[in-house]
Amino acid sequence: MYLSRFLSIHALWVTVSSVMQPYPLVWGHYDVCKTQIYTEEGKVWDYMACQPESTDMTKYLKVKLDPPDITCGDPPESFCAMGNPYMCNNECDASTPELAHPPELMFDFEGRHPSTFWQSATWKEYPKPLQVNITLSWSKTIELTDNIVITFESGRPDQMILEKSLDYGRTWQPYQYYATDCLDAFHMDPKSVKDLSQHTVLEIICTEEYSTGYTTNSKIIHFEIKDRFAFFAGPRLRNMASLYGQLDTTKKLRDFFTVTDLRIRLLRPAVGEIFVDELHLARYFYAISDIKVRGRCKCNLHATVCVYDNSKLSCECEHNTTGPDCGKCKKNYQGRPWSPGSYLPIPKGTANTCIPSISSIGNCECFGHSNRCSYIDLLNTVICVSCKHNTRGQHCELCRLGFFRNASAQLDDENVCIANVCDNELLHCQNGGTCHNNARCLCPAAYTGILCEKPRCQEAGGCASGAGQRAPPRGCPALLLLPAPLGTARPRLF
Ligand SMILES: *[C@@H]1O[C@H](CO)[C@@H](O)[C@H](O)[C@H]1NC(C)=O
Ligand SMILES: *[C@@H]1O[C@H](CO)[C@@H](O)[C@H](O)[C@H]1NC(C)=O
Ligand SMILES: *[C@@H]1O[C@H](CO)[C@@H](O)[C@H](O)[C@H]1NC(C)=O
């Protein structure tokens, strides 16, 4: 079941300098891609590395539950109050709005009392495991900028795995394991993020910090992005420059905080005691009131604006880049290989803009078939050097010998010159054939071959003789044995 969570058809966020920025200003925000500056040559653009502002990413996701019918209330059922196994007359009923707990309530505005929450069916099929996968998909690479926070309305699960995908859900990696007993649940030693260091920051750990029993008051589970940032930026993230320096040079670190999807695998509900109370299975279920995911569109430091249009996020690329993540150079701007912008040097970074493929010296245009021009003093003119794509000429405006103008391609198209077959000047179709679109000769029925140069064979083994025709070759190749009637003047396509 895909729930459409898109509250607005078109949302847009633009970075504006914000007084609420939690970080010091000195190291730069990367919130503009270019500014106009004055130089000796007048006003020119100065390009900089840039990125969209960090925002609440739960507005732009799709949520999917597995099993699809795991939400409580269809059919209606009763469950026990949190923390009180003997008050079991609470009701979940999907058809009554006040008693329904659909998945979108994990992402609505919190702060109301009582809070709204998604709730699963109860563990009535015990001892069959009660397991739920909650998949959050953005269909866009995003970079996490703050802790992922999941608030449970019931007890926090005894066992849970947070997973991530970087390839739109094709493959998954664990992000963090959560259990009351890591060794028992996952054969892992319990650890906390604080046990890690700069060198082990990418380690996937199992933590027992967030899984204490059913009766405790705490409802929250974290995936600690900020504690991991702090290994580079210091305890209060004062030195973001240092973090950005690391992100710039260490792809693995950057990728660690990048996702296209997240998956919460709920493996065992809060039990709290050693034994499951089989007489009151309506005590056991999952309920989540809130999920927080903050991040920004990954635009490779080539955009400050990320647009949400048609249920899709995409970067508004600058620096003459293009693609959903600004991951390539625009057409005609492939003068050097694409590369992401760089945070360095702090604070402006480096834009690494894409440069035009066509050098423009004077009026010289090479139609995108060369990126080098040469000035010929003697002729006082500029010519394109090393024309590619089978072109030639001062402006790469002609086709090389043996190649012909593709009438359906523009002059700057890579396919403008094609090895075709005939034209009406140099490469004539023979024996009265006519050239069709430079692509093929339309031959009279008695002839065949690319240029109508071969007489068609008779079934008897002989060949047609036409005006000026040489003696027929002996033993015509079988492939040419076509049942074409002799003497038909009508041209045939072969
Ligand atoms: C959750 O996802 C995992 C990994 O794909 C799969 O093995 C498991 O069966 C899923 N669980 C449910 C309840 O769908
Ligand atoms: C991108 O190309 C346009 C022309 O299409 C040009 O005006 C602009 O300055 C270029 N931007 C960069 C960053 O090179
Ligand atoms: C001619 O150019 C068009 C447009 O680029 C292209 O689709 C087509 O394949 C080209 N024809 C040949 C024979 O290459």
Give the confidence band of 10 by pLDDT, cuts at 50, 70, 90. very low
The confidence score (pLDDT) of residue 305 equals 95
Q: Which atom of ligand 1 lies at the shortest distance from residue 131's CA?
A: 13
For 303-337, how does the pLDDT look when each residue is reduced to its tens digit (9 = 90+)?
999 999 988 999 999 999 999 999 999 987 876 78
pLDDT, tens digit, 9 for 90 and up, residues 250-290:
999 999 999 999 999 999 998 876 788 888 899 999 999 99
pLDDT score of 111: 65
In 3D space, the residue among 358, 354, 357, 356 whose CA is nearest the CA of residue 382 turns out to be 358
Cross-strand partners of 90: 79
Residue 98, H or E segment: none
Contact at 8 Å (CB) between 494 and 487? no
Highest mean pLDDT out of 27-41, 46-60, 204-218, 454-468: 46-60
Q: Which amino acid is at 260?
A: T
Distance 131 CA to ligand 1 centre (A): 8
User: How far is C-alpha 188 from the geometric centre of its chain's CA atoms?
Assistant: 33
159: left (phi over 0), alpha (psi -120 to 50) or beta: beta
Q: What is the pLDDT of residue 426?
A: 67
The amino acid occupying position 213 is G
Residue 217: pLDDT band with limits 50, 70, 90: low
Question: Atom 6, ligand 1: which residue's CA is nearest?
Answer: 133
| Ligand approaching nearest to the C-alpha of 321 | 2
Please tell me the distance between residue 67's alpha carbon and the centre of ligand 1 in angstroms.
9
252-266, 326-340, 402-416, 466-480 — which one is most confidently predicted on average?
252-266
The arithmetic mean of pLDDT across residues 459-485, rounded, is: 36
Cα(189) to centroid of ligand 1, in Å?
Answer: 24
Q: In the chain, what are the domains?
A: 18-52+302-355 (2.10.25.10), 55-297 (2.60.120.260), 372-418 (2.10.25), 421-463 (no CATH)
Q: Which residues line ligand 2 (CB under 6 A)?
A: 45, 47, 319-320, 353
Q: Which atom of ligand 1 lies closest to the CA of 265?
A: 1
52 vs 473 pLDDT, higher one: 52
Ligand nearest to the CA of 128: 1
Nearest CA to ligand 1 atom 1: 133
> Does residue 393 contact residue 400 with C-beta atoms inside 8 Å?
no
The overall pTM is greater than 0.85: no
Q: Measured from the CB, is residue 458 less than 6 Å from ligand 3?
A: no
Task: Say which residue the tokens 């903050």 belong to.
Answer: 294
Percent of the chain with pLDDT over 90: 51
Closest atom of ligand 2 to CA, residue 318: 13
The pLDDT confidence band at residue 470, using thresholds 50, 70 and 90, is very low
pLDDT at position 436 is 79
**Cα of 370 from ligand 3 centre, angstroms:** 20
Residue with the larger pLDDT of the pair 197 and 3:
197
Helices 240-249 and 225-233, packing angle to 10 deg: 100
Is residue 464 within 6 Å of ligand 3 at its C-beta? no
* Residue 446 alpha carbon to ligand 3 centre in Å: 30
